[in-house]
Structure 1
Amino acid sequence: MAPNCGSIDQVFEFVEVCETLTSFEECMHAIRPIVADLGFSSFILTGLPLLNRPLEPLVLLDSWPGGWMERYSSQNYFEVDPVGQNVLATSSPFLWGDAPNQRDESLSRPMLGEAAEFGLRDGFCVPIHGATGWQSAFSFAHDRKIDASPRELAAAHLLALTVYGRLRILHSEEPHARTRLTPREREVLTWAAAGKSAWETSALLGISEATVITHLDNTRRKLNAANTTHAVVVALQTGELQLY
């Protein structure tokens, strides 16, 4: 399927204005149409529970079909959910269908069947790095097989990280400290935000690929970012980066 450029542009527009949102309700209202245009029907943003602890109190945003969260929590489905368990094992975004089944399939199969009946057949999950580790996740879902392009999935990834960052601030956590990037670091990060590889950026700026990689490493370190996409989000939120 060809990338939906309009929905991708909406994500970047949201990144630029998200700091004006003042409540969880405003965030929910703002991202619903963007999520739909990216090709998903529902989503959830939640912390990850400790063993045998409930998930429901950790949920920040929830547009799951009615009744599913109650069912999921009452049956402690997180313990047998391949998607939930894979979030604990990886820091990389993944399609639900790519999550390995780490438990007995006889335990997860009924849960997956019920999820499909609720309209949660397939999806895309973004593990999110918090202050104490990979402790949250933003999961997008649909009632059919996901047919999203890599660019649309990258946009969903960026949206998830941006929303989480804003909600963390609204949840009375400290915003990121302002850390000045050098002009070259800001330039390299701007090209990364535009989708350029390190090699492409090196050609555009007339520097070596190794130098570009070093600048990106320094940027992630200064911004305390888990990856380059996260660094872009943090830089936008702190005013270090402006996308035009």
Structure 2
Amino acid sequence: MSLWAFGLIDSDVFDFVERCRKHTATGPLLSDLLETVRNLGFEHLILSGVPLGGQKLAPMVELNGWPAGWFDRYVEAEHAAVDGVCIYSAKTLKPFVWADVPAKWSATEGSRRVAGEATEFGICSGFAVPMLSVHHWQSVLSFASSQKTCATPASPTGHHGSVRWHVNSGPVRRWRRNGRCPDRPRKGGASVGRRRQDLI
């Protein structure tokens, strides 16, 4: 890959981070992020807390850019409990290509079933960025591609940019501060805890 391509990826990521400050709702934010990651070879994404100990996934999702129908099937079948990518996202803070999830979690019958079903919705490979979270033990920003293998980001800038965006983007930050998403009804306030102060 050429140095020009490295520069293009860096520029796309940082341009997106700057645009985040202008977004006031999660819908436009998600559309902008999806458009940005298409330049990196990904068509879908999800930003969510990582469910632990029987937690349900749906209430933990912050941005849902999964294909129509796949998220509903994933939640209804409680795939998070057996999906190797989801399980591994709770065990590391290092970004990883889905195909690199250790066999201990990716080679189980349940995890293989999830991967197989995902292909029915055009999800064949992906890249995950686990990160510390304010309201959950850990969160993950997971990107999906219809290609059988996805390109590993050429530089760590994409990861750093996504973490910076996750903590500092206007709509998500305001939602975390107020305990609500701008596109959803208010459910009560949320104080800024020690963990959030450390992230900021």
Matched, 1:114 2:133: no
| Distance (Å, rounded) in 2 between the aligned partners of 1:6 and 1:92 | 23
Q: TM-score, normalised by structure 2?
A: 0.78
What amino acid maps onto 2:28 in structure 1?
A: E
Q: How do residues 59-138 of structure 1 correspond to structure 2 at under 5 angstroms?
A: 59-103=61-105, 105-131=108-134, 134-138=137-141
Name the CA shift for 1:8/1:87 in 2 (closer, same or farther; >3 Å): same
Matched, 1:29 2:31: yes
| Distance (Å, rounded) in 2 between the aligned partners of 1:63 and 1:133 | 20
What amino acid maps onto 1:53 in structure 2?
A: Q
Name the CA shift for 1:159/1:66 in 2 (closer, same or farther; >3 Å): farther
| Distance (Å, rounded) in 2 between the aligned partners of 1:77 and 1:87 | 14
Answer with 140-149 or 158-167: which moved more.
Answer: 158-167
Amino-acid identity (%): 31
| Distance (Å, rounded) in 1 between the aligned partners of 2:126 and 2:76 | 22
SS at match of 2:130: strand
Cα deviation, residue 92, structure 1: 0.7
What amino acid maps onto 1:100 in structure 2?
A: P
What amino acid maps onto 1:147 in structure 2?
A: A
Q: Quote the residue 1:220 is aligned against.
A: none
Cα deviation, residue 136, structure 1: 0.7
Q: How do residues 13-52 of structure 1 correspond to structure 2 at under 5 angstroms?
A: 13-52=15-54
| Distance (Å, rounded) in 1 between the aligned partners of 2:125 and 2:20 | 28
- Structure with the bigger percentage of helix: 1
Cα deviation, residue 38, structure 1: 1.2
Cα deviation, residue 149, structure 1: 4.2
Q: TM-score, normalised by structure 1?
A: 0.65
| Distance (Å, rounded) in 1 between the aligned partners of 2:48 and 2:143 | 12
Answer with 33-42 or 104-113: which moved more.
Answer: 104-113
| Distance (Å, rounded) in 1 between the aligned partners of 2:15 and 2:176 | 24
The structure with higher relative contact order (CA 8 Å, sep 6+) is 2
Matched, 1:173 2:147: no
| Unmatched segments (≥5 aa) in structure 2 | 179-196
Name the CA shift for 1:87/1:94 in 2 (closer, same or farther; >3 Å): same
| Distance (Å, rounded) in 1 between the aligned partners of 2:28 and 2:60 | 19
Cα deviation, residue 116, structure 1: 1.8
Name the CA shift for 1:33/1:121 in 2 (closer, same or farther; >3 Å): same
| Distance (Å, rounded) in 1 between the aligned partners of 2:59 and 2:22 | 26
| Distance (Å, rounded) in 2 between the aligned partners of 1:131 and 1:53 | 16
Name the CA shift for 1:173/1:150 in 2 (closer, same or farther; >3 Å): same
Contact kept? 1:52, 1:76, Cα under 8 Å: no
Q: How do residues 188-203 of structure 1 correspond to structure 2 at under 5 angstroms?
A: none
Contact kept? 1:128, 1:134, Cα under 8 Å: no
Answer with 102-111 or 5-14: which moved more.
Answer: 102-111
| Distance (Å, rounded) in 2 between the aligned partners of 1:35 and 1:6 | 12
What amino acid maps onto 2:88 in structure 1?
A: N
| Distance (Å, rounded) in 1 between the aligned partners of 2:103 and 2:83 | 8
Which structure is larger by alpha-carbon Rg, 1 or 2?
1
